[in-house]
Chains A and B, each alone.
Chain A
């Protein structure tokens, strides 16, 4: 077991072979120079890392429920504030929340908004695997347009999820948070830089991190890095930051690969390659291009 990497999250967790989020968690927490306390929403990370009697967490950790990780850390952070004032707690501590996209875009959306609005000093990290994966791949508002899930299956009448992914980054930024960034597990240097920035920024900060799911996106267990890379290389998942409302794109290319390169690597998009659904791929390409142009236009 790698001692350096397992200072916060040890081995022995039961995430699927080839899962991406352990790397996300370890990379982000590795950037903190001070001790951390974690709150975590119900989800894959939580259930695979705290299966009694074993907890893979070597740092203080609380799982409360599915929709309240941000509210829970709000309580922890305020407790810290007063106990430090009273001299009962001496050390400086950082507060980090981890949640999946379901726990962030949907059921945890309200408690996230409350915590951001109240200005608690914490970092909220959403590992975005595009659906409710722990419960067996049901659709969330983060599921991409056209993706098949167990609740948006493709069929005679449907080509998968009909709605467009909720733009959570803009919603987070709209709270006036000092720092929000979209990152990708395949781009570790970029993720590290953003994690350090988020951890060092006073007040609520937000990281949305691309986290491929081998089991439910249906790709071989060895592929999460390659597929995550393609997501950014095709502009499907741009890397950018919003600092005090100012947008900055961290990775761009003159000639992005066609989104098809990304889609064809995953079983959840396989149905789009039928004659009937081919036009949907064109639609997705247009949406990806339009979104990137929109982002680029927001950069001063």
Chain B
């Protein structure tokens, strides 16, 4: 608690809208999709009550949402959006263009299953589908983290000039209420500062062209430049997290550790399942099982070094993926085994909003579930 912050009980969706209100961006272009809708509904109320100045564009599809965002960002306006699942998939073509044009767009994602069959509930298949598109991806486990990382994400995007996705689990986080704390608007405004790009369309006296054609002799270099820029993200995020710690009392890292010091078995996961895993760990530790949790919060760019250090001498690593990749090792499991140069146990959980229970985690740790699924 800093001196004049406020305690509230908010869902993840509301917390996101609250953070966006305090950021007060210039433009938000959005299209509705469950479970993202609370974010844009609450924000639209802020707009109609005059609590934000944002130009909210209610477009006719997610493809146009991200397209309008690229336009407004290129024009020189601080730009945000939000989506889920099929909407994020529909945006896919333009995600690559947004990063290619170095547009610092902030996108909130209430992560949700991808059809078919259709499912409106939480999992990570949508954001996994966008993981190589040149967008920074930051995962949140709680509404408090959604609020904090929305603010951090806005500042990061504009610092590294790359688009950022702040991701919460659909329903598990977006629609679950938690006691949390928000800062004063002035503190947030000061923290994110003014958005003043160097080159922008509305700078009439210095005309620029966005989106030229680059052929065999130059395209490759542009893509490599983007990759080099992506490599600066980890360092910048650390600094911004630290700075945010000063004004909020909550400091975040790229990975979070829970009872890892003496752990012989370590579970690795992302998003809201962390809470269930921590409860399971507490119980297991009562039975003498030395187990800990490594939560990955920064997923793109992936923090290989930190993960390697955190897992270096553990005997057994169990990685939980809330996404099912076909014909290949699971995504997070592959990243983790790549970090430590060892095999890991890989298990898929929570697809399409399927609940994950403490007992399932305990059976997993005890080795009673070799199926690779928490069905």
Report which of A52, A71, A89 forms a contact with B68, defined as CB distance below 8 A. A71
Of A68, A71, A114, A118, which is in contact with the most chain B CB atoms at under 10 Å from its CB? A71
Report which of B29, B60, B77, B207 forms a contact with A82, defined as CB distance below 8 A. B77
**Chain A residues positioned under 8 Å from B75 (CB to CB):** 37, 75-76, 79-80, 83
- How large, as a class, is the contact surface on chain B? 35 or more
Flag if A93 contacts B207 (CB, 8 Å): no
Query: Is A35 located at the chain interface by the 8 A CB criterion?
Result: yes
Query: Is A67 located at the chain interface by the 8 A CB criterion?
Result: yes
- List 15 other contacts, CB 8 Å, given A62-B210, A63-B209: A55-B212, A57-B209, A59-B204, A60-B207, A68-B64, A71-B59, A71-B71, A74-B59, A75-B68, A78-B27, A78-B68, A79-B26, A89-B202, A111-B63, A118-B59
Flag if B68 contacts A83 (CB, 8 Å): no
**Chain A residues positioned under 8 Å from B54 (CB to CB):** 82
Give CA–CA (A58, B207) in the complex, Å: 6
**Chain A residues positioned under 8 Å from B211 (CB to CB):** 46, 50, 62-64
Flag if A67 contacts B26 (CB, 8 Å): no
Instruction: For residue B54, give the distance in angstroms from its CB to the closest CB of chain A.
Output: 7
- How many A-B residue contacts, CB cutoff 8 Å? 163
**Chain A residues positioned under 8 Å from B68 (CB to CB):** 71-72, 74-75, 78
Query: Is A255 located at the chain interface by the 8 A CB criterion?
Result: no
Flag if A52 contacts B213 (CB, 8 Å): yes
- Contact of A52 with B76 at beta-carbon distance under 8 Å, contacts A76-B201, A118-B57 already known: no
Report which of A52, A59, A74, A93 forms a contact with B71, defined as CB distance below 8 A. A74
Give CA–CA (A199, B144) in the complex, Å: 48
Report which of A46, A55, A83, A110 forms a contact with B202, defined as CB distance below 8 A. A83
Q: What 1/0 flags go to A80-116 for Cβ under 8 Å of B? A: 1111011011010100000000000000001101100
Give CA–CA (A183, B222) in the complex, Å: 40
Query: Is B70 located at the chain interface by the 8 A CB criterion?
Result: yes
Q: What 1/0 flags go to A217-252 for Cβ under 8 Å of B? A: 000000000000000000000000000000000000
Give CA–CA (A62, B210) in the complex, Å: 5
Instruction: For residue B323, give the distance in angstroms from its CB to the closest CB of chain A.
Output: 27
Flag if A62 contacts B213 (CB, 8 Å): no
Give CA–CA (A91, B53) in the complex, Å: 20
Flag if A79 contacts B208 (CB, 8 Å): no
**Chain A residues positioned under 8 Å from B79 (CB to CB):** 75, 79
Instruction: For residue A278, give the distance in angstroms from its CB to the closest CB of chain B.
Output: 43
Give CA–CA (A83, B209) in the complex, Å: 20
Give CA–CA (A67, B29) in the complex, Å: 17
Query: Is B94 located at the chain interface by the 8 A CB criterion?
Result: yes
**Chain A residues positioned under 8 Å from B213 (CB to CB):** 46-47, 50-52
Nearest first, the 3 A-B pairs at minimum CB distance are A75-B71, A114-B60, A79-B77
Report which of A47, A61, A73, A78 forms a contact with B210, defined as CB distance below 8 A. A61
Give CA–CA (A110, B68) in the complex, Å: 13
Flag if B202 contacts A79 (CB, 8 Å): yes
Give CA–CA (A57, B97) in the complex, Å: 20
**Chain B residues positioned under 8 Å from A60 (CB to CB):** 201-204, 207-209
